[in-house]
Amino acid sequence: MEKRTQKGMQSKYKYINKYTNENYKTFGAKVRLEEYDEIKELLKHKGMTNADFIRYALEKLRSI
What is the average pLDDT across 48-63? Answer: 96
DSSP the chain: -PPPPHHHHHHHHHHHHHHHHHH---------HHHHHHHHHHHHHHT--HHHHHHHHHHHHHT-
What is the average pLDDT across 8-13? Answer: 90
pLDDT exceeds 70 at position 1: no
Look at residue 47 and tell me if it is in a domain.
Answer: yes
Look at residue 10 and tell me if it is in a domain.
Answer: no
Look at residue 11 and tell me if it is in a domain.
Answer: no
Return the pLDDT at 35: 96
Q: Which domain holds residue 53?
A: 29-64
pLDDT tens for residues 15-39?
Answer: 999 999 999 999 989 999 999 999 9
Look at residue 35 and tell me if it is in a domain.
Answer: yes
The DSSP letter of residue 63 is T
- Give the largest Cα separation in the chain, rounded: 54
% of the chain at pLDDT higher than 70? 95
Return the pLDDT at 48: 97
What's the domain count of the chain? 1
